[in-house]
Each structure stands twice: as C-alpha cells, then as structure tokens.
C-alpha cells in the first residue's frame, strides 16, 4: 500500500457501527454518506476516495468526540426510487424502521384461522408440485 492508497474497507457500506473511530481512514467515513442535496445514490464518490477525505479531516485535527444528534437511515423499498435514494439523516432518537417485510407485518396482524384461510387461497394458485416444494422450503427455513 502506498501513501495515497487507504487500506481496504471490508464492511460493505460505511455505517457508524462498522467504522473504527480510532482509524483515520474510517473515523469520518460513515459521516460522508447521503450528503445534503445529494440525489442519485448514497455516496458522491467511491469509498476509497471518502477514506482519503476522512484521513484528511483526521490529519487536520478533527476527532469524533461527541455523540451524534443524527443517525443515518438507509433507503427503504418504499422510497420513490430506492435504488438511487441516498437515504436520509434523522434525529438520533427517531425510532428505527420496522425490520419486518410487508408480508411478515401483514401475517403478524392475522389470527391463526385467518392465516390458514389465506394459505388455502394462495395454495389454489399453485400446482401440487409447487405446493409440495413450497412446503418443503418453508419447513426447512422454519428449522433454521
């Protein structure tokens, strides 16, 4: 690695939870996502470049010392175009979004008899082979 190449960032997308506050290349990396007035994606530049910006801020004396008053919220599949939405920064005390899928939330709101009725209706649209394969996969998933 030469002086202008930061070490690889192995954690996918930079979040506060996966950036080391004592590593100059990561200390501010998570703060450089979804910048104000940014549209078209979460990062304005590649992560490697943003690591260099984080290092520059570090070299100029900046240090993460206070607890943030904002937290990053990833784009959801409900955004107008979730593939290009940058996500947004919300007050740190904002409750996290429900991690359950819409189907899981709907299923959780049903009584057992209603779940059975929905299953019977959905099963009508499947061939016997599809029903068998679905049930095998669902049972395997439930065991995991």
What's the confidence (pLDDT) of residue 83?
A: 60
- The average confidence (pLDDT) of the chain is 88
What's the confidence (pLDDT) of residue 129?
A: 92
Beta bridge partners of 133: none
From the CB of residue 47, how many other CB atoms can be counted at a distance below 10 Å? 20
| Per-residue model confidence as pLDDT tens digits over 76-111 | 766 666 566 788 899 999 998 888 888 888 899 999
pTM exceeding the 0.95 threshold for the entire prediction: no
The secondary structure element, H or E, covering residue 70 is: strand 70-73
Which structure tokens are listed for 58? Answer: 């570090």
What's the confidence (pLDDT) of residue 20?
A: 95
The alpha-carbon radius of gyration of the chain (Å, integer) is 22
Q: Where are the domains of the chain?
A: 16-91, 102-143
Better pLDDT: 41 or 15: 15
pLDDT at 39 over 80: no
Q: Which of 76, 81, 80, 70 shows the shortest CA–CA distance to 35? A: 70
């Amino acid at each position: 690695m030469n002086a202008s190449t930061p070490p690889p960032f192995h954690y996918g997308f930079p979040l506060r939870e996966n950036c080391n506050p004592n590593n100059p290349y990561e200390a501010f990396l998570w703060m450089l996502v979804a910048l104000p007035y940014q549209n078209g994606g979460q990062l304005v530049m590649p992560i490697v470049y943003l690591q260099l910006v984080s290092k520059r801020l570090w070299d100029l004396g900046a240090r993460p010392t206070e607890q943030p008053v904002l937290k990053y919220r990833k784009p959801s599949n409900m955004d107008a175009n979730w593939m290009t939405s940058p996500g947004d920064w919300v007050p740190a005390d904002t409750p996290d979004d429900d991690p359950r899928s819409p189907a899981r939330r709907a299923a959780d709101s049903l009584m057992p008899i209603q779940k059975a009725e929905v299953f019977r209706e959905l099963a009508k649209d499947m061939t016997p082979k599809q029903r068998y394969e679905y049930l095998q996969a669902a049972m395997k998933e439930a065991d995991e």
